[in-house]
Structure formats: C-alpha cells, structure tokens
Structure 1
Amino acid sequence: MDVVRATYEIETALPLEATVATIAGEQSTGTFVAVRGETERLTARHAATVESIDELPPSGRPPLPGASGDWSVARRARVRIAFPLHNFGASLPNLLAAVAGNLFELREVGALRLIDLDLPMAFADAYPGPGFGVQGTRKLVGRESGPLIGTIVKPSIGLSADELAALVREIVEAGIDFIKDDELQGSAPCLPLAERVRAVMSVLKPYADRTGRMPMYAFNITDDISRLAANHDLVLEAGGSCVMVCVNLVGLAGVHYLRERSELPIHGHRAMFGAFSRSPQLGIGFTAFQKLARLAGVDHLHTNGIANKFYESDEQVLASIEAVRRPFLGGYHILPVLSSGQSAGLAHATYAATGTEDLLVLAGGGIHGHPHGSAAGVRSMREAWAAAIEGESLDARAARVPELAAAIDKFGRR
C-alpha cells in the first residue's frame, strides 16, 4: 500500500503517545468520540499509522493559545506518521488536507510544525513538475555556467512605463542575466501588466536582435486563477521568456493550473512564506514547502540568501538551498533563488557555503543602490562572483575593478 509519510515536530503537556495518536486519528478515520461505522476493518485500511516518536529536549517556549495541560511538564518530539494514499490520492490540495488540515488547531498540542514529506511515485505520475528547470533556464538566458546574476525592479512600484524601460535598458546593456518584477507589481492601475510588458519588450527584443541573447524578465502575472492563463499568453505573445507567480497567493492548485498551460519558465516567489513558517512552534517548514512547489511546477524558487534582511539565519538559508537542489522523486531540478539584502560582498561566502554555480542571485538594492548607478551595480556582482569561482580574493579583484570596490565600500562584505 502506498503511503505518504509526514514528519512533524510537536510539543504537548498531555501524554505524548496519546497526543500523537490523536493527531493520526484526527487526520484520518477518527473524531473526538467513537462513532457508528468505525469498524476494525475500516480503521485497518484507512487509519493513519504512527511510525516513530523521537523525543527531543523541551523548547522552553510558551504554548500556543488554547493548549491543554500543565506546560511545566511539556514534552517535545519529532514524529513520523504514515497516511494511506488511497485516502486522498495524488492531489496536492487533498494531500495538504490530510497532513496539515485541522492539526494546527488541536488543543492537545502547544506546538506543531510539518517539517518534511516523503511522497510516493504516484505524485510524480500526476505532476510533471518544472518544465524548464536549471538547464532550460540556462539555455534561454544564454549562460551555460556560473551563477545567473539578476535583479528586481526598484523602486518596486511607482515607475512609469518610460522610466521602467530606461531602467531595463541600463541594466541589460550592463550584462544582467535576469530581471524580475517585485511581488508588489501585479496588474495595477498605475502600470497595468500589458503596459509593463510593452515597455520591457521594447527594450529586450532590439537588444536580442543586436546581440543574439535576451536576458530573462520574469513578469509577475499573479492574479485570480481565472486570469493566469490570459496573463501568461500576454507575455508569451509579446516574446517574453518567463512569468512569475507568488506560490502562496495563488495556491498550489493555481501554480499547477498555470504549469499545465505554460510555455514559459515559472519563477516561484514565496511571498507570505513567513506567515506560516517564521514561528518555530507552528506551520510548515521550507523542506516540505519546496517539495510541494516543485511538484506544482515552478522552475525557480526563492530560498532567501545569507546575511539577509529578514529573519532567517545563514544556517536556515543554506539548508533551504540544499533542499531545493536535492533530487526529488527522481528529478524536479529547479534553480534556487537567492535574494534579500544581497550584494557583491557576499559572493565569496555564498559560493564557499553552497559549493555550486547553479544559483540565481538577485540583488535589488545591491545593484540599484550602487553609488555609481545600476549598471555599475551589475558589474560589481558579476566581478565578485567571477572572482569567487576563479579563486581570486575579493580584495584583489576590487583593486582592479572600481565598481566592485565601490560596492564593498557601500554595502560591506562578509
């Protein structure tokens, strides 16, 4: 029998084994009281099974609101539960109903977090995953090796179409590989998607005609699901080479809907991820999340970057990058996207820690905030990463590249 194995970290002030049994029952055959029809035969076929309980030291954190019991005797554990696949089938929405569902509301737990999922091959049969991935993206961008150097449109909102086109022209001429809309840019009245596409492509197409290479621009097409296909087609028909969607805002089913229709790489932004991941006591961890996003069909996925401006530690970020790069169900290879406070001074530390060139490194302020302008910011990033890969020190390269030296003075180093 195929099963989905879900791994959780829980904390409870009630008897640990009984609490875990409650979790398994709540998400399969059980309810708060025995009911007619709950036969031994039905339970044997459909009940979730507790496979392991590995006790951990108590966290020392207070319980979630409404938790039962005397928290002074709380126990914490890592738990693995197996859910029969025939309860819900190879369906991402229904998978989440089974392994998450109402769990976060149980009084029995004062902390509960889904940290990993082990899925059977039935999900690979149902979901094709990324259409382009690492190699397909590299081919479209025209860069066979080295990290892809990218940026985000800044200011994130407020630019006119002409101002956007001028910014894109500057950084394209400087050799950028990738540009993306901000997650705040959808199809707003101040600059609708169609107008934004026209402005950007009026720069990219002539550049491609002249050079034979077109940088990838990820247009944010996040919208109601009923508009995703039309938004994608708008970009495709204009000659664009990438669309961006906020995974958590359209949902996994929305991403899959887009993937089934997309002829372009899908850049997966994780906006709102912190809402269900930041607390160590509640929610879904990145290891589980990235598997679901890869199945749904993203080709790139934001992992955050080291020394970032948000809450995650370098250790957490590096674990996320490693998780995205790890083969899953025999494939599903996608690009980790490093962002948040990135600049040239982080290249050597990032390369040393990740050991890979298969990265999409985005610097927003680290490029547009360069004291000599955005083009100088692009060159500083390119030179820093080239030095890191070639084994040249940051200082040695900066001594020869004024743009890199200015970036280090402005943004610092690691």
Structure 2
Amino acid sequence: DADYVIKETDILALFRITPQPGVDPIEASAAIAGESSTATWTVVWTDLLTACDLYRAKAYRVDPVPNVADQYFAYIAYDIDLFEEGSIANLTASIIGNVFGFKAVKALRLEDMRMPVAYLKTFQGPATGLIVERERMDKFGRPFLGATVKPKLGLSGKNYGRVVYEGLKGGLDFLKDDENINSQPFMRWRERFLYSMEGVNKASASAGEIKGHYLNVTAATMEDMYERAEFSKEVGSIICMIDLVIGYTAIQSMAIWARKHDMILHLHRAGNSTYSRQKNHGMNFRVICKWMRMAGVDHIHAGTVVGKLEGDPLMIKGFYNTLLESDTDINLPQGLFFAQNWASLRKVVPVASGGIHAGQMHQLLDYLG
C-alpha cells in the first residue's frame, strides 16, 4: 500500500527480501506483511468478523538493494494494537514467527525496526543503566576494563577464584564467567560463586576501589536462575550474568529481578551469530540490541571491530549508538534505517569483547570512542 500514511504509534520493520525466481517483490512484501499480522495461506470467511483493514500490516515501500541483484528492502508498518504491552515474546512471535520459512522468498532478513514511544513506555528498560552503574562503581571518564576467565571450562573452584583475584588485582574493574560455565561436575555453581567473591573482596580491599565479577546464573529453569541470582546477591556481588540463549521471556524476568534487587545485569550474546551473520537471511544484530534495551539488560556484547569476531566498523558503531543514545537519526552507513526516540529508557553498556588485547586499545578507542 504505497499510499499508506505512517502513524506515530506504528511499529515499523525493514526486511531484506530475496524473492524466488518469478515472484514479484511487491507481492512477496505484501505476503510477508500479511503473514506476520492477520493473514494466512488462504482466504477465510472469518476475516469478515474482524477489522482486517485496520489490523493487517501494510507494506508501504519496496526498494531495490543498491548494488545487489535480486534483493529488495521492504518497509512494513504494524498497528500497535497487534502487540501485547511489554512483551518481547509476543513481538517476536509476529515479526519473526512464520515468515522466514515462506516459499515465496529464497531468503529473508530483518534489518531494522522502529518502536513508537507509546510502545516503549510499556517496557521497563535496563535494570540499572550506564549512569547508575558508574555511580555504583565510582568510576568516571574512562571505559570499564574487564576480561574473561580462561580456560573457560575445567578449573576447580579454588583455582577459578585465584584467576579472579589475580585479574582484578592487576587493575581490571571486572572479571567474568564465560557463556558455558554454569554448574558442571568439575565445579558446581555455589563453589564458583564463593571462591569468585573471595577473590573480588580481596582485590577490592587491596586496591581500595569497587570491583566485580559477572556471576553467570544461567540455568535450566527460572527457579534455578532465581536461586543462583539470590545467592549471588547474598554473597555480595554487584553484578550477575545471563546468556541470550535462555530466551526473551527469561531475559525480561531476570531484568525485573535485577531492578528489584539493585543488581547490574550482564547479557552474553551466546548464539546470536546463528541468525545474525548471514547477510541475506536471519536478523541483524542491531534488532537484538533494540529488543534487549527494551527487555532490560544493562550490558550486552556488541562487537569490537578488531579481535577474533567479524564486524564492520560503521555497522558496529551503529550497534553502540543504538544502545547508548537517547535519540538516533537515520544513518544508512551505520545501518540505521529509522529514527528512534528511546522514550527515556536507560542506556545499555555495549561490551567490546572477543580476542582483543592491550595492544589494540588505541584502535578500539579510535573506532568506538
């Protein structure tokens, strides 16, 4: 519907569409809009029982992707009433629910979204936020400096705590668990928490400053995660950690817990590259950045430019701006296709991690500020 007038309350999505040979890109875009809102694979008489013209998503613009053959950008608008307030799970069930398996498209990628202020106001946002975190840490005017315990698996609890102590004593603000250290036979979670906090407390006392260790509370059930998070608070930790793979509902639940208990919440983006790395199918990581700011995490891994993980400098700068700015304008080189007002949601700390060392710090500061 090229004549559709976008409303301030509309949720906007940009898809990169690769239609099957012989499929018109406009028809493919309309099919994506229909399937991700009210339509199904055929016409049904029950459509007459609802206001389909109001609720059906509108594909209002289709542009060829510059310098790429047979790919198109489809802009789609969704009425705000299609979505439950404050639910990432419900949002994703519509936007990425069925459409990625559509026969009409060879490939489909969600590149960007615009969330209206009215919708953002139904989300808590980051549990702590950058400003409050700096106040709690009493560290200003410089980046936080952290590292990950290695080897990530196999250490005993006592040796794990020793690594935490040595790293923090050497000048780090934070040490962290890695994504896959939970509660394995070689070191159960309670043992890890106790020895890690012993290292934190000794290093903090020695340095005369506040330090922390990201205690990974990721577990099989929400009950287990709450138990581990509560224990991390009891033993004096200021920060805990979860993995992206626990799912959107669990992430929101942990963010609400963290806000209630004055804990900083770190999110490791474990698993994101399964859908974000391919350039023509899946989902751009900037969309995950937006969803996670809404969900309520305080930290998220957002790329390094340098290091062991792939990343274009401008694209990663776009991720950082999405997490840190109160308002972002359209910036196509950074992959920001929509202006976004963040409705006073707190700022998320973008974490630069993945195979970087001290000799690359000048490059990080040059690229990312």
Q: TM-score range by the shorter chain?
A: 0.7 to 0.9
Name the structure 2 match of 1:9.
16
SS in 2 for 1:11: strand
SS in 1 for 2:71: strand
What's the offset of the Cα at 1:129? Answer: 1.0
Q: Distance in 1 between matches of 2:12 and 2:49?
A: 22
Relative to structure 1, the CA distance from residue 122 to residue 214 in structure 2 (aligned partners, 3 Å threshold; closer, same or farther) is same
Asked if structure 1 preserves the Cα contact closer than 8 Å seen for 2:156 and 2:187, the reply is yes
Name the structure 2 match of 1:81.
76
SS in 2 for 1:245: strand
Q: Distance in 1 between matches of 2:75 and 2:59?
A: 6
Matched, 1:190 2:197: no
Letter in 1 for 2:232: V
Matched, 1:229 2:226: yes
Letter in 1 for 2:368: T
Relative to structure 1, the CA distance from residue 76 to residue 207 in structure 2 (aligned partners, 3 Å threshold; closer, same or farther) is closer
Q: CA RMSD in A?
A: 1.8
Q: Distance in 2 between matches of 1:92 and 1:131?
A: 16
- Which residue, 332, 335, 351 being the options, matches 1:337? 351
Q: Distance in 2 between matches of 1:195 and 1:345?
A: 34
Map 1:289-368; keep pairs closer than 5 Å: 289-327=288-326, 328-355=342-369
The answer for unaligned runs of 5 or more in structure 2 is 1-6, 327-341
Map 1:370-389; keep pairs closer than 5 Å: none
Q: Distance in 2 between matches of 1:199 and 1:337?
A: 25
Name the structure 2 match of 1:241.
238
What's the offset of the Cα at 1:57? Answer: 4.2
Name the structure 1 match of 2:42.
33
Name the structure 1 match of 2:264.
265
Letter in 2 for 1:256: Q
What's the offset of the Cα at 1:123? Answer: 3.3
Asked if structure 2 preserves the Cα contact closer than 8 Å seen for 1:295 and 1:332, the reply is no
Q: Distance in 2 between matches of 1:255 and 1:123?
A: 18
Larger radius of gyration, structure 1 or 2? 1
Name the structure 2 match of 1:134.
130
Name the structure 2 match of 1:214.
210
What's the offset of the Cα at 1:101? Answer: 0.8
SS in 2 for 1:126: coil
Letter in 2 for 1:76: Q
Q: Which moved more, 1:131-140 or 1:204-213?
A: 204-213
TM-superposition CA deviations, 1:243-292 (whole Å, max 9, x none): 11012x11111011111112211101101000011111211111111010
TM-score, length of structure 2 as denominator length: 0.87
Asked if structure 2 preserves the Cα contact closer than 8 Å seen for 1:140 and 1:216, the reply is no
Asked if structure 2 preserves the Cα contact closer than 8 Å seen for 1:92 and 1:292, the reply is yes
SS in 1 for 2:343: coil
Letter in 2 for 1:229: Y
Asked if structure 2 preserves the Cα contact closer than 8 Å seen for 1:187 and 1:221, the reply is no
Letter in 2 for 1:173: K
Q: Distance in 2 between matches of 1:213 and 1:121?
A: 39
Letter in 1 for 2:54: R
Letter in 1 for 2:126: P
TM-superposition CA deviations, 1:20-58 (whole Å, max 9, x none): 111111112212221112239621121111121122246
SS in 2 for 1:23: helix
Q: Distance in 2 between matches of 1:210 and 1:33?
A: 69
Q: Distance in 2 between matches of 1:78 and 1:54?
A: 5
Name the structure 2 match of 1:64.
none
Paired residue total: 340
Relative to structure 1, the CA distance from residue 58 to residue 306 in structure 2 (aligned partners, 3 Å threshold; closer, same or farther) is closer
Asked if structure 2 preserves the Cα contact closer than 8 Å seen for 1:181 and 1:218, the reply is yes
SS in 2 for 1:330: coil
TM-score, length of structure 1 as denominator length: 0.78
SS in 2 for 1:341: coil
SS in 1 for 2:242: strand
Q: Distance in 2 between matches of 1:108 and 1:270?
A: 31
Name the structure 1 match of 2:333.
none
Name the structure 2 match of 1:366.
none
Name the structure 2 match of 1:43.
52
Letter in 2 for 1:201: M
Relative to structure 1, the CA distance from residue 124 to residue 32 in structure 2 (aligned partners, 3 Å threshold; closer, same or farther) is closer
Asked if structure 1 preserves the Cα contact closer than 8 Å seen for 2:80 and 2:119, the reply is no
Matched, 1:115 2:111: yes
Asked if structure 2 preserves the Cα contact closer than 8 Å seen for 1:161 and 1:196, the reply is yes
Q: Distance in 2 between matches of 1:57 and 1:314?
A: 20
Asked if structure 2 preserves the Cα contact closer than 8 Å seen for 1:181 and 1:219, the reply is yes
TM-superposition CA deviations, 1:154-192 (whole Å, max 9, x none): 111111112112222212221210111011111222111
What's the offset of the Cα at 1:195? Answer: 0.5
Q: Distance in 2 between matches of 1:76 and 1:244?
A: 38
Asked if structure 2 preserves the Cα contact closer than 8 Å seen for 1:218 and 1:244, the reply is yes
More helix by share: 1
What's the offset of the Cα at 1:236? Answer: 0.1
What's the offset of the Cα at 1:82? Answer: 0.9
Q: Which moved more, 1:206-215 or 1:2-11?
A: 206-215
TM-superposition CA deviations, 1:91-150 (whole Å, max 9, x none): 211111111111110011112111111112233332211121212222232311211111
Matched, 1:254 2:250: yes
Q: Distance in 2 between matches of 1:352 and 1:209?
A: 33
The answer for unaligned runs of 5 or more in structure 1 is 61-74, 356-414
Asked if structure 1 preserves the Cα contact closer than 8 Å seen for 2:152 and 2:177, the reply is yes
Asked if structure 2 preserves the Cα contact closer than 8 Å seen for 1:58 and 1:76, the reply is no
